[in-house]
Structure 1
Amino acid sequence: MSAPHHSPAGSPAGSMAERYGAPPVWRKYFLLGVVVVVVGSLAVLWTWITLAQSDPTVSSELITSEIVDDHEATAVIRVKWGDDPVEAHCTVRAIAHDKTVVGEETFEPSQDGSGDSIDTTVTIRTERRATAVESVGCTAEGQLRPR
């Protein structure tokens, strides 16, 4: 019986290149190019998203809230504007114990020119007793996501 034939690569069946032929040289460079384009595109997209979202036109925060009675809640909302005065629409919600929205109020804060922010007291009419008040946020032209 004869011993199996060993190729110089050391495997009995021979190397992959000997058996199937060498892969085309361009394949390695093509794959590298695709990876570079995808990573570069993602980096540009991430940078654009970061810069666009870092300085909103208008933003808001809930300062305080009070449940007045079974059908009313109040909230003080601080609205902050960016560099230019814009017309903003802000939304506040009243939430019941079972996490159901029982009242919602959308208002337009007035920018009176006395600074870059203003505190606004909002009264929310509710269907039943609320247990919490949530500031959804403010939107403006060109800023569709509430902030």
Structure 2
Amino acid sequence: MRRARRHNWREDRGSYSVETVILAPAIIALMLLMIAFGRVTDASGAVDGAARAAARAASLELEAGAAQAAGAAAANRSLTGEGIHCAASSVSVDTSGYGLDIGQEATVRATVTCTAPLGEIGLPGLPGSRTLRSSWTSPIDSYRSRP
């Protein structure tokens, strides 16, 4: 008859330390990757909102010059309000619709570009920044006078 071998717990001594040393870097890298993904998602939504705000603000103005200034100001306010810090940003407002005659359908198109920095996350292999771009179109009132 064989006797059941008793498990000696002393043989497992230190195995938890080895498992922790092996798994900790992978878990930390996964958490940093989730942070980077979250930051890019937040910045992308903020850039979309800024383009929408810029197009809407530009479409409410009476002339093209004021529309460009209002669109740029609205986009910058929107990005600042969302807490997004762009390493580089630009706002382009297409006001060619202001050149059309009254009664014709016209639109204003705003494009916002933001370079979101990712370098401070410190994950090897992660790009230093990501450029996000969004455009939005808003109608101009067809029967409002345009100088």
Q: TM-score by structure 2 length? A: 0.35
Query: Which structure shows the bigger proportion of residues in strand conformation?
Result: 1
Q: TM-score by structure 1 length? A: 0.35
